[in-house]
Amino acid sequence: MFDTLTDRLSSVFRNLRGKTRLTDADIEATTREIRLALLEADVNLTVVKEFIQAVRERAKGAQIHAALNPAQQILQIVNEELIEILGGAARPLRYAKKPPTVILLAGLQGSGKTTLAGKLGTWLKAQGHSPLLVAADLQRPNAVTQLQVVGERAGVQVFAPEPGNGIGDPVAVAKAGVGFAETKLYDVVVVDTAGRLGIDDELMRQAADIRAAVNPDEVLFVVDAMIGQDAVNTAKAFAEGVGFDAVVLSKLDGDARGGAALSIAKVTGKPIMFASNGEGLDDFDAFYPDRMASRILDMGDLLTLIEQAQKTFDAEQSAKAAQKLLQGKGEFGLDDFLQQMQAVRKMGPLSKILGMMPGMGQVKDQIAGIDEREIDRIEAIIYSMTPAERANPKMLDGSRRARIAAGSGTKVSDVNSLVNRFFDARKMMQSMAGSIPGMARKQAPQAQKKRKSGNKVSGNPARRAGKAPTPVTAPASGSAFGQPAAISEAELTKQLGEFQLPPELQQLFNPKNTGPR
C-alpha cells in the first residue's frame, strides 16, 4: 500500500548527493514524510509533532557522514530518538521486599488481560516463583471460568471465590486474594480485573478502590498493539484514574505497526515492560525498544524474521541444506527444497515473509500477488515424486514426468517447468550465496544468470506476449536500504543491515514479471 519510510526519504533525497550538510529545506522535506509514516503507524498526532521537533533540532547542522546518504542519516536520527523514548525507562519487574508481590492488571475491554494473567503466571512459575491468579473480573460472562481454565493450563493456582457474571464485589475478591496468598505462601499475586473504558468514571473508581485495597507493587496497563489515536486518551485516563507503573503491549504478533507504544511511552513516561505476541501461554517476552522502533518505521523487520526463522527452522537441517546448496555439486535436491519451503510457509504467508525482507519494496506488487494455492501445487508435484527422484531430479525422464503430472493432477508442462526452474534457480542461488556477506563463497560466473533469463523469456512466448512486463526499478537505484542504526545485535546488523536484494534476484523478478496467472 504505502512505501516504506526509507523509500520515501530516498525519493526526497534523490537529488541531494554531494552535499556536505543538511539544509533546512532538506530537513523540512523529510519532516512531512516522517510525520506521515508515524501517523500511519498510529502514533498520536501530538506526540508526532513533538517528536518531529526533536528530530529537526538534532538534524540541523548535523554533518553529513561520508558513509551515509542524507536519507539514512535522518533515519538514523529518527531511529535513535525513537529508541530513546521507547526504552528510556526500562526496568525489570519489582518484587516486594516482603512477599507476596502484588501485580494488578488493568486495561480496556479486549486488550488481553485475562490471557496475560495466564502468561504472567507461566512466566513467573518458570522464574521460580509460586504465583496466584486472582479472578477479579466479575463482569464479563465467564471471565472467571476463562481464568480458571487458563490457570489450569499454566499449572497455576487460581483464586476465584465468586462466580462472576455480574455477581460479587471485585474489591473484596482482590483483597481476599492477597490474604489467601499470605496464608498459603504464594509469593506473587496477579490480580485480573474487568476491562473498563477510560471515560467510565464509576469503573475507574472501582479500579482505584481495588488498587487501594491490595496496594500493588506493580500496576500493569495492558494495551492492544492495534490501538489507534485514542491510545493517548486511554493511557492518560488510566494513569489518572488508577495510576500504572508499566505498560504491556499485547497482540504484537499481528501486523499492526504499534505506534501506540510510542505515544504511551512518551505521554505517560512509563516504561513498556512486556510484549505479548501470540496465543500460547509462553508467547510472552521482554520488550525490545530497538525492534519496536524498526517496526514503527516499517524498516523491514529483519530481526523478527530471523527469529521466526530460528523458531521454525530446524537449525541443523537448514545448515545442511545451505551447505549442500553452497557446495554446488547438485546435491541440493527437491526434497531439501520442499523441506525449506515448508519451513518458510510455517512462518506465515510467503508474501508476508518476503515483505519483511529489506529491499523487497521494489517488487512489492508482485509479492502481493503471490497465490498460496500455486505453492500448494508445487508441493503436490514434489510429493508425487519418489524419494529418489526428489533427491536427484536429473533422473526425471519423460515417463516419470508423465506419472508425476498424473499423480499431482497437473500437466506435464507444469512438471517440466518446475524441474527446469529448479535447476536454473539452484545455479542462481549458488552464485547468489556467494554475494552475501558472511558466506565465504565467491561469486559464481555471471554467465549463468544471463542464460537463465534468456531461457525464461523464450520458455513461454505466448503468455509473455499477452502481458507486457512492467519493469521493476533497476537494481542499482531502487535498493537504498538504510540500516537501522542502534540495533543491539550490532554484529548481525552489520552483516545483514547492508543486505540488499542481490542483483541476481532482482533480475529474477524482472523478466518474470508477468503477474499472477
Between CA 258 and CA 370 the distance in angstroms is 26
Name beta bridge partners: 157.
Answer: 132
CB of 247 to other proteins, least distance (A): 14
Of 458, 467, 474, the closest CA to residue 510 belongs to: 474
Residue whose C-alpha cell is 551447505: 323
Q: Pick out residues in 95-114 that bind other proteins (CB under 8 A).
A: 107-114
Question: Which x/- pattern, by CB under 8 A, does the window 69-98 give for other proteins?
Answer: ------------------------------
Between CA 243 and CA 218 the distance in angstroms is 10
Select the span of 63-71, 87-95, 475-483, 502-510 touching other proteins (CB under 8 A). 502-510
The residue from 443, 460, 473, 500 that contacts other proteins (CB under 8 A) is 460
Closer CB to other proteins, 130 or 145, in the complex: 145
The residue from 260, 264, 265, 297 that contacts other proteins (CB under 8 A) is 260
Return all residues near 285 (Cβ < 8 A) that are at least 6 apart.
Answer: 274, 275, 276, 277
Set of cell numbers at residue 426: 539452484
Between CA 402 and CA 389 the distance in angstroms is 13
φ, ψ of residue 333 to 5 degrees: the values are: -100, 180
CB of 208 to other proteins, least distance (A): 18
Q: Pick out residues in 404-443 that bind other proteins (CB under 8 A).
A: 410, 414, 417-418, 421-422, 425, 429, 432-433, 436-439
Q: Pick out residues in 272-301 that bind other proteins (CB under 8 A).
A: 275-283, 285-288, 291
Q: Pick out residues in 121-180 that bind other proteins (CB under 8 A).
A: 137, 139-143, 145-150, 153, 165-167
CB of 254 to other proteins, least distance (A): 4
Between CA 414 and CA 324 the distance in angstroms is 26
Question: Which x/- pattern, by CB under 8 A, does the window 314-333 give for other proteins?
Answer: -x--xx-xx--x--------
CB of 15 to other proteins, least distance (A): 25
CB of 141 to other proteins, least distance (A): 4
Region of residue 144 (phi > 0: left; psi between -120 and 50: alpha; otherwise: beta) = alpha
The residue from 69, 261, 496, 497 that contacts other proteins (CB under 8 A) is 496
Name beta bridge partners: 276.
Answer: 284
Closer CB to other proteins, 214 or 363, in the complex: 363
Closer CB to other proteins, 22 or 472, in the complex: 472
Question: Which x/- pattern, by CB under 8 A, does the window 206-245 give for other proteins?
Answer: ------------------x-xxxxxx-xx--x--------
CB of 151 to other proteins, least distance (A): 9
Between CA 76 and CA 63 the distance in angstroms is 13
Residue 510, number of CB atoms within 10 A of its CB? 19
Contact present, 297 and 273 (Cβ < 8 Å): no
Sign of the alpha-carbon dihedral angle for 382, 384, 387, 391: negative
Q: Pick out residues in 18-47 that bind other proteins (CB under 8 A).
A: 36, 39-42, 44-45
Total of residues contacting other proteins (CB under 8 A): 147
Task: Work out the burial of residue 311: count CB atoms within 10 Å of its CB; fewer than 13 is exposed, 13-18 middle, 19 or more buried.
Answer: exposed
Return all residues near 441 (Cβ < 8 A) that are at least 6 apart.
Answer: 326, 430, 433, 434
Q: Counting contacts by CB under 8 A, is residue 505 touching other proteins?
A: yes
Closer CB to other proteins, 22 or 116, in the complex: 116
Residue 442, number of CB atoms within 10 A of its CB? 8
The residue from 296, 303, 396, 487 that contacts other proteins (CB under 8 A) is 303
